[in-house]
Structure 1
Amino acid sequence: MTAPLHAPQRQFAVHDDCLQIGALALPRLAQRVGRTPFYAYERGHIHQRVAALRQALPAGVQLHYAMKANPMPALVHMMAALVDGIDVASGGELKTALDTTLPPARISFAGPGKTDAELACAVAAGVLLNVESEREMERIAIVGERQGLTPRVAVRVNPDFELKHSGMKMGGGAGQFGVDAQLVPALLRRLGQLGLDFLGFHIFCGSQNLAAAAIAEAQARSVQLALALAAQAPAPLRLLNIGGGFGVPYFPGERPLDLGALGESLALQMALLRAASPATRLVLELGRYLVAEAGVYVCRVLERKVSRGRVFLITDGGLHHHLAASGNFGQVIRKNYPVAIGNRLAGGPRETVSVVGPLCTPLDLLADQMEMAKADAGDLVVVFQSGAYGLSASPAAFLGHPAALEVLV
């Protein structure tokens, strides 16, 4: 049997030469969905991923889902039963989280540029607000005074260190996220004067990291920084969210994150934290790591075209649904996501092709000169590792093509 080129299949099975997602072979699933393109997210893989994390991490570490990775309501509702909290980054995400079974106290709201309406909704609901600036803190206090409520807050800290080897750095320099570490003591004094309910800190250094040693170092430095800042806080430290950064392999040569090593290093940090501040809850905030490998994007070949000796498969999907797979969502040098012809996985002739979408731009490229099974009109193209930063992170309105569907199977 010939597997798709470097396509991870831990969560999917091959059945009758077709990709099987959940209990359904791909052609049957496509028929049930009704049309292409669509995203499919596999429940079983998400359950297994959360269980594996719980087993590897030390007891007492709380697991939060970062909804920005995938805000599909059905998926978020399922996730609410698996994790200890949900982190949101907009009023729209907040509404989705509040519609789940999680109590509002287990929802946190981060991100710069929160509007007055968003702050008012969060304070009224009792959601934890991650303060991104002194100005935002003053606005939160005004909202609380108007509502006759005491807002629950944590301070998001922009540390003076970064998460090395990250696909996207979120700390260690000038940036729009959080309060610079050296400015936090003064902000904490003002926070106490305002009478806000201080819970703790949120320290997030970077994302999409496959180096366990780098993550462990950032976690250790985050704990040290939080304990140092806590000495100047207006109330005891009850919460420390050290973000996540756990990456998943997308490209050839990348290896999965070593959870065992991370669990061991995090156990040491838990021991230090408990010794210095026994009442503090330690939170890991993960999004991509929980859902990326549980999803696929499926589109259909409309036409097989040969141009100057090169084969192009023109599909009904593209960057308007899956910007990340096109290479236009943070890649400096474009690399192919794992892509396959989902209904032709075993045997048969193979060839080198480019998979392109229907948009009027050469950027609309899902696979560039990749070897896969020989395909024609009607065949199904599958993009793996598509459970995170897919549809909601793509310019779906571009050129007015139909939106992709989403299913949880």
Structure 2
Amino acid sequence: MSVTKPIHAAQTGFPVADGCLQVGGIPVTRLAQRVGSTPFYAYDRRLLSERVAQVRTHMPAALELHYSVKANPMPALVQHLAGLVDGLDVASGGELKVALDTGMVPGRISFAGPGKSEAELRQAIAAGACIHAESERELRTVARLGADLGIAPQLVLRINPDFELKGSGMRMGGGAKQFGIDAEEAPRMLALAATLGLDVQGFHIFSGSQSLKADAIIEAQAQTVELALRLAEASSNPVRMLNIGGGFGIPYFPGEARLDLAPIGAALDLLLPRVQSALPQAKVSIELGRYLVGEAGVYVARVVDRKVSRGQVFLVTDGGLHHHLAASGNFGQVIRKNYPVAIGNRMGSGDTEAVSVVGPLCTPLDVLADRMELPRADVGDLVVVFQSGAYGLSASPTAFLGHATPSEVLV
């Protein structure tokens, strides 16, 4: 059976000193002592800031950058990013509260997602956040609630495009989708909005996420702009906001190459002047979640048992799929692959062995690393799962089997 090779310290983005991984400049062993218990998530401020700066360097200056809160809604992390980006995108009333608590200007907070409740829509209208309407029902509800509150709602239409982001890990547009208003239905929805007295400020067009192919992202962005220009012709109001989505992916598995931002930025340098000429009032934005935070976080669990079953070594930890569903392979993977994993207090050790890292749950699905070559570890050592800054704790079934919820720290 194949064995996944160990990750090298230089690949992680986190420094190593004296064989110990550091997060936020703190050795992971000392960080575990400060937190007081394992498991826990730790997010590195420096890496978050550097990633935002990297995106800014490669993208056109006129392009606004928004953070998609659903990737990681930890309040301290969102607060940190709010000072670095131009807007926050949320997908629930709970995330809306987190975003508002940062002090971000409400008009720069956008609220997307299907099935928004009346209570959530009322909250968004009252706060002055921008609602991304995804259906006729939402349009009619927003109009009614705005009239009840005596407030003109901030509003754009979320569009389900007639194309998809090729090679994306998750297709959010093209075909029949629960997300957004079908592109061919948008002119009718624009006319309806006008009869309802709603001021539609623009469009949100999102075609997919987690792409590592620059050419595919460039093609999708060009198609997005073409669609936006066509839809603008059907609008009775000038387009003032255009969210062209994101889709930037990060590598998780062996053989995956990092996304090259340079050609994407160069293509946008050529594309934005066309938008600015046709839609002179439009502010164009991209929304990124995973790309900004995914590589800045780690999940840390402690080995509580070491056992051998018919020749296979198992490291049993105090954390697992209930805290990190994605790393277990149960969050959309078709064929399970290992996230990058290391023994955080034995980085660079030459004494390695093939092991499986499993959690404490009574299910064979509770696997953090399957047949992976790692430094020899024993009870008390710290297992570190990289690429854990996005879709980690908040995307996991924390109530499963009643274990305690792990801590989160921003360092």
- State the TM-score, normalized to the length of structure 2: 0.98
Tell me the residue number matched to 1:259. 261
Q: How does 1:273-288 map to 2 (within 5 A)?
A: 273-288=275-290
Contact 2:316 2:358 in 1 (8 A): yes
Tell me the residue number matched to 1:199. 201
The structure-2 alpha-carbon separation of the partners of 1:7 and 1:384, relative to structure 1 and needing over 3 Å to count, comes to farther
Q: How does 1:58-207 map to 2 (within 5 A)?
A: 58-207=60-209
Tell me the residue number matched to 1:300. 302
Contact 1:120 1:143 in 2 (8 A): yes
Tell me the residue number matched to 1:329. 331
Looking at structure 2, the residues matched to 22 and 160 of structure 1 have their Cα atoms a distance apart, in angstroms, of 43
Looking at structure 2, the residues matched to 56 and 348 of structure 1 have their Cα atoms a distance apart, in angstroms, of 39
Tell me the residue number matched to 1:290. 292
1:50-106 deviation per Cα after TM superposition (whole angstroms, max 9, x unaligned): 011111001100000000000000000111100000000000000111111211011
- The count of corresponding residues between Structure 1 and Structure 2 is 407
The structure-2 alpha-carbon separation of the partners of 1:9 and 1:29, relative to structure 1 and needing over 3 Å to count, comes to farther
Aligned pair partner of 1:316 in 296, 303, 318: 318
**Which runs of 5 or more structure 2 residues have no equivalent in the other structure?**
none
Report how far residue 175 of structure 1 moved: 1.0
Report how far residue 167 of structure 1 moved: 0.3
Tell me the residue number matched to 1:40. 42
Aligned pair partner of 2:391 in 389, 393, 409: 389
Report how far residue 10 of structure 1 moved: 4.7
Percent identity over paired residues: 64
Report how far residue 199 of structure 1 moved: 1.0
Aligned pair partner of 1:247 in 233, 246, 249: 249
Looking at structure 1, the residues matched to 350 and 249 of structure 2 have their Cα atoms a distance apart, in angstroms, of 34
Looking at structure 1, the residues matched to 192 and 46 of structure 2 have their Cα atoms a distance apart, in angstroms, of 47
The structure-2 alpha-carbon separation of the partners of 1:8 and 1:152, relative to structure 1 and needing over 3 Å to count, comes to farther
SS in 2 for 1:367: strand
Tell me the residue number matched to 2:382. 380
The structure-2 alpha-carbon separation of the partners of 1:330 and 1:8, relative to structure 1 and needing over 3 Å to count, comes to farther
Report how far residue 8 of structure 1 moved: 6.4
Tell me the residue number matched to 2:340. 338
Tell me the residue number matched to 2:219. 217
Report how far residue 234 of structure 1 moved: 2.0
Report how far residue 279 of structure 1 moved: 1.4
SS in 2 for 1:324: helix
SS in 2 for 1:252: coil
Which consecutive aligned stretches of 4+ in structure 1 deviate over 2 angstroms post-superposition? 3-11
SS in 1 for 2:356: strand
The structure-2 alpha-carbon separation of the partners of 1:355 and 1:319, relative to structure 1 and needing over 3 Å to count, comes to same
Tell me the residue number matched to 1:228. 230
Tell me the residue number matched to 2:58. 56
Looking at structure 2, the residues matched to 5 and 56 of structure 1 have their Cα atoms a distance apart, in angstroms, of 28
Looking at structure 1, the residues matched to 131 and 95 of structure 2 have their Cα atoms a distance apart, in angstroms, of 14
Report how far residue 347 of structure 1 moved: 2.6
Contact 2:250 2:295 in 1 (8 A): yes
- State the TM-score, normalized to the length of structure 1: 0.98
**Which runs of 5 or more structure 1 residues have no equivalent in the other structure?**
none
Aligned pair partner of 2:14 in 4, 12, 15: 12
SS in 2 for 1:325: helix
Report how far residue 269 of structure 1 moved: 1.4
Contact 1:7 1:339 in 2 (8 A): no
Report how far residue 9 of structure 1 moved: 3.8
Contact 1:157 1:181 in 2 (8 A): yes
SS in 1 for 2:327: coil
Looking at structure 2, the residues matched to 275 and 119 of structure 1 have their Cα atoms a distance apart, in angstroms, of 33
Looking at structure 2, the residues matched to 275 and 230 of structure 1 have their Cα atoms a distance apart, in angstroms, of 13
1:212-262 deviation per Cα after TM superposition (whole angstroms, max 9, x unaligned): 000000000000000100011120011110110000000111111111011
Contact 2:9 2:15 in 1 (8 A): no
Tell me the residue number matched to 1:406. 408
Give the root-mean-square deviation of aligned CA atoms. Answer: 1.0
